[in-house]
Structure 1
Amino acid sequence: MAGHTRFSKRLEGIFPEKRLFLKSDDATRFVRLSSGTQAAMAVGGAALLTWTAFASAMVLITSLGAGEARDQAARDQQMYAERLNALSLERDARAEEARAAQERFTLALDQVSRMQSQLLASEERRSELETGVAVVQSTLRTAMEERDAARAAEAEATRELAALTGTGTTEAAQMRDLEQTLAFLTDALTGTAAERDGLQGAHGAATAEIEELLLSQQLTAERNNRVFELLEDAVTVSVAPLERMFEEAGVPADRILEEIRRNSSGQGGPLVPMSFSTRSLPQDELSYRTEQILAGLDRLNLHRMAVDQLPFAMPVKSAFRFTSPFGYRRDPKGGGTRMHKGTDFAASLGTPIYSTAEGVVVKAGWNRGFGRMVKIRHAFGYETVYAHMSKLRVKEGQRVSRGERIGDMGSTGRSTGVHLHYEVHQSGKPVNPMSFIKAGKNVL
């Protein structure tokens, strides 16, 4: 009871009793506010204010979290769109290279076709001239035969007249007949001579044109053969360095190309024999050479696709120092001889590191011995490892292209200084990365 009295006095000291007077026109009233009522009102107001502040804070935190989530989603979407655009641009560049090669080959074939059309036209003109010469010669022979027949008939008629009359005709008639015969013969001989001269001129012109057509045919044949030789040389010069690069790296090129041909849609295609009408080269030889050129272009395209998917490129493009090769060496940290499964490149801190081939990032994070490292899985059972980096620029599951930056050089993990430890694995077994780098040095 005494405690309650002290509490009431303390409450009255904090909240003294108050009266509120309400005055109207005809009366004055008051409202009594006791200490307990004032305390209850204060507690209720404080509770309401606390709840309002708490609700506002929760709404603000929720709004900030949602905004940050939206911003992160927008950044991820933008990064994904940029990656898709880069892949699309690269795909378009490769398609443009193949389309340019196909256009150059089509242009060469069009030129061959035009040359063959010209040759056919010249052949037809020569055939027409030969036919015209034959017709003129036949006409001349017919005219000469008719002239000989007329002369024979005239001689026979003269003999018959002489047998009947003794002299054949009167002197005047004989003179007239002789003059007419001489005039007829003169006209016939003159026309025949003129026709002969004309035929000789036409024959000479036809012979000259035939010789010109034969020369044009020979030149066309030589040009056709030269075009095919240039195409064959271009294909050989383009494919040979790539095949030599695969051979030097010890990569089974035929198996890889066959796998690409089997798995890649829209590449290669059936080799359709093309027909040409020309006398410069046999039909079978033209078809064979055309098919060989198309096969060479298809093989060149398959080689380029394979090169992009195999680690022939350099992981470091800036100035560097080659510090440790592949093979057994003395352990620089713990002593003793151990197998060094990669190759070390030393440069300054933060030097960019690039993917040596297309692939998918299967590991991007911390490794106890390698520090910050990236492992990329490539086609045909190959993998590459990039270790001791100071910063990673890719994530697991990300697809990267050859020459794409994946991190910065550093000295994390078990390392004696800033460098890149680079490994190449084939079917899970480490191989010397320099065999690939040296093979691709003069090609890429």
Structure 2
Amino acid sequence: MPYRSGHHSDHPQHHAPHHGRQAPYRARRPQPGPQPQIAAEASSYTFAHAGRQVRIGPVLFWIVVGTIVALGCWSAATATYFAFRDDVLTRLIARQAEMQYAYEDRIAELRAKVDRTTSRQLLDQEQFDQKLDQVMRRQTMLESRASAMSTLPDVAVTGSIKSSRTPAPDSTPAGPLKPSPINDTVIFVAPPDREARLESRSPAAAPSLPTTQYAKAQGLDTALTKLEQSLDQVEKRQIATLGSVEESFESRARRMRGVLADLGLAARGLEAAAPRAGVGGPFVPLKAPSANASAFDRQLYRINLSRSQLDRLNRALTLVPYRKPVVGEVEFSSGFGVRTDPFLGRPAMHTGLDFRGNSGDPVRATAIGKVVNAGWQGGYGQMVEIDHGNGLSTRYGHLSKIIAKVGQSVQIGQMIGEIGSTGRSTGPHLHYETRIDGEAVDPQKFLRAGVRLAGAG
């Protein structure tokens, strides 16, 4: 034990060597002497061991004490660490595992989200591809329909026969036909040869498919919607056009059959007798549409049937003399029926129509036929008679000049002679007759049929 140097006992105390401790000395009573030396000795610490004394200062003493305390604390901490090391490691490992599991769960969640997003994108892409494919197929279908519609020719208005020959230079177009009463002298204008101009059958070009930039800018759904709306409009126009063509064909066919019935003519006989140009080829029957065919295909089939029927009726009408025998505006100088004979002044039957004209004006055939008489025929003077088949014939009298020859086939509008005043005539005019089975009928009946056929286009 340390003791201060100023307190010595008279007899040093011996320590047993096997105990390792030394007995402290009793402090001496202070002796009189100088005080500074006593104070210096009091501020130091003295250690005795094995008969030796070691004196140290207070700073060193506390350094030693601090070191001993630090070593003790370190030893205690070390012991505590080793004692609780397993628990700490276990908690650290558990915490690390928990963090790792949370991280893995987050990664799995993000991966699942990416997979869902990718799947949705793939599904959207697949749906877009399907819609685009449907639009492409629909556009192809509309284009094929437009191609099928383009094969429909422009058909002439019922009652107008388009001549294959180039019209004569002196032929002039006429205005609308104006029928006149039998016994009145009025202006009579024959029906013109007109052609029906059906509504354009070429649908608007289908819009091109949207580009990638356009699809990105407007959105895929918006682009497809606009494209489908455009195709809807094209399809509606096609259907409307087909409906108009079908209705036009059917109305013309009804009108033609009605005219032939009113004239008392058999359509089948006229169709069989109608001349045809050089045609031919193997017979390929027209196939009717199947039960599951579209409405467009069924309607197109009906239109083709109506078109074929119109062709037959048009050929039949080429044999019907419903056109006027002169060009331009003309006057009736005498009608069909009972009248006063210009030479005898007695009632007589007038078997035709008298068209006022000038000598030398052209006279034209009113229907296809064959010349059976061309020469002088009593009261007719210079006359040409044309047989149109099925009992139909026409006569052109009082001609100043005959151009047609017996046995010659004539076409509609072909010049067969010139107006004159030969035979029983009081002045230049054309005496025109229409006959059925040799019996004279009113030519105005045929001319009005021409008005009906041409005016309802």
TM-score (ref. length: structure 1): 0.53
Which residue of the partner structure matches residue 177 of structure 1? 97
2:403 is equivalent to residue 393 of structure 1: yes
Whether the 8 Å contact between 2:271 and 2:316 is mirrored in structure 1 is no
Which residue of the partner structure matches residue 293 of structure 2? 283
What do residues 16-43 of structure 1 show as CA deviations (whole Å, max 9, x unaligned)? xxxxxxxxxxxxxxxxxxxxxxxxxxxx
Whether the 8 Å contact between 2:273 and 2:389 is mirrored in structure 1 is no
Aligned AA (1:326): F
Shift of 1:334: 2.0
Aligned AA (2:105): L
Q: Secondary structure at the match of 1:378?
A: strand
Distance in structure 1 (CA, Å) of the matches to 2:313 and 2:103? 88
Which residue of the partner structure matches residue 272 of structure 1? 287
Structure scoring higher RCO (CA < 8 A, sep ≥ 6) equals: 2
Shift of 1:256: 4.8
Shift of 1:389: 0.5
Which residue of the partner structure matches residue 354 of structure 1? 364
Shift of 1:362: 0.4
What do residues 140-164 of structure 1 show as CA deviations (whole Å, max 9, x unaligned)? xxxxxxxxxxxxxxxxxxxxxxxxx
Whether the 8 Å contact between 1:382 and 1:427 is mirrored in structure 2 is yes
2:117 is equivalent to residue 193 of structure 1: no
Consecutive unaligned residues in structure 2, runs of 5 or more: 1-86, 132-220
Distance in structure 2 (CA, Å) of the matches to 1:374 and 1:261? 21
Q: Structure 1 residues 313 and 401 mapped into 2: Cα distance closer, same or farther (>3 Å)?
A: same
Whether the 8 Å contact between 1:386 and 1:420 is mirrored in structure 2 is yes
Q: Which of these residues, 257, 268, 272, is aligned with residue 255 of structure 1?
A: 268
Whether the 8 Å contact between 2:242 and 2:300 is mirrored in structure 1 is no
Distance in structure 2 (CA, Å) of the matches to 1:363 and 1:296? 38
Shift of 1:183: 2.2
Whether the 8 Å contact between 1:387 and 1:422 is mirrored in structure 2 is yes
Whether the 8 Å contact between 1:366 and 1:372 is mirrored in structure 2 is yes
Q: Structure 1 residues 309 and 395 mapped into 2: Cα distance closer, same or farther (>3 Å)?
A: same
Q: Structure 1 residues 189 and 246 mapped into 2: Cα distance closer, same or farther (>3 Å)?
A: closer
Which residue of the partner structure matches residue 437 of structure 1? 447
Alpha-carbon RMSD across the aligned residues, in angstroms, is 3.5
Aligned AA (1:309): L
Matched ranges for 1:114-125 at <5 A: none
What do residues 52-91 of structure 1 show as CA deviations (whole Å, max 9, x unaligned)? xxxxxxxxxxxxxxxxxxxxxxxxxxxxxxxxxxxxxxxx
Distance in structure 1 (CA, Å) of the matches to 2:102 and 2:330? 111
Count how many residue pairs are aligned between Structure 1 and Structure 2. 272
Q: Structure 1 residues 235 and 333 mapped into 2: Cα distance closer, same or farther (>3 Å)?
A: farther
Distance in structure 1 (CA, Å) of the matches to 2:123 and 2:95? 41
Which residue of the partner structure matches residue 426 of structure 1? 436
TM-score (ref. length: structure 2): 0.52
Shift of 1:180: 2.7
Q: Structure 1 residues 262 and 355 mapped into 2: Cα distance closer, same or farther (>3 Å)?
A: closer
Shift of 1:307: 2.5
What do residues 369-409 of structure 1 show as CA deviations (whole Å, max 9, x unaligned)? 11110000113321001011110001100011000000011
Q: Structure 1 residues 285 and 231 mapped into 2: Cα distance closer, same or farther (>3 Å)?
A: closer
Matched ranges for 1:38-437 at <5 A: 170-201=90-121, 210=131, 216=227, 220=231, 223-237=234-248, 240-241=251-252, 243-244=254-255, 247-248=258-259, 250-251=262-263, 252=265, 254-256=267-269, 259=272, 266=280, 270-273=285-288, 283=293, 285-437=295-447
Distance in structure 2 (CA, Å) of the matches to 1:358 and 1:261? 9
- More helix, by proportion: 1
Whether the 8 Å contact between 1:243 and 1:253 is mirrored in structure 2 is no
Whether the 8 Å contact between 1:273 and 1:287 is mirrored in structure 2 is no
Distance in structure 2 (CA, Å) of the matches to 1:364 and 1:262? 22
Distance in structure 2 (CA, Å) of the matches to 1:190 and 1:336? 118
Which residue of the partner structure matches residue 57 of structure 2? none
Which deviates more from structure 2 when the two are superposed, residues 264-273 or residues 308-317?
A: 264-273
Whether the 8 Å contact between 2:383 and 2:398 is mirrored in structure 1 is yes
Shift of 1:187: 1.0
Whether the 8 Å contact between 1:232 and 1:293 is mirrored in structure 2 is no
Q: Structure 1 residues 338 and 261 mapped into 2: Cα distance closer, same or farther (>3 Å)?
A: closer
Consecutive unaligned residues in structure 1, runs of 5 or more: 1-166, 277-281
Whether the 8 Å contact between 1:275 and 1:287 is mirrored in structure 2 is no
Distance in structure 2 (CA, Å) of the matches to 1:231 and 1:372? 52
What do residues 290-347 of structure 1 show as CA deviations (whole Å, max 9, x unaligned)? 2111012212222322232211211011443201111122222223222211111111
Identity in percent: 31
Aligned AA (1:335): G
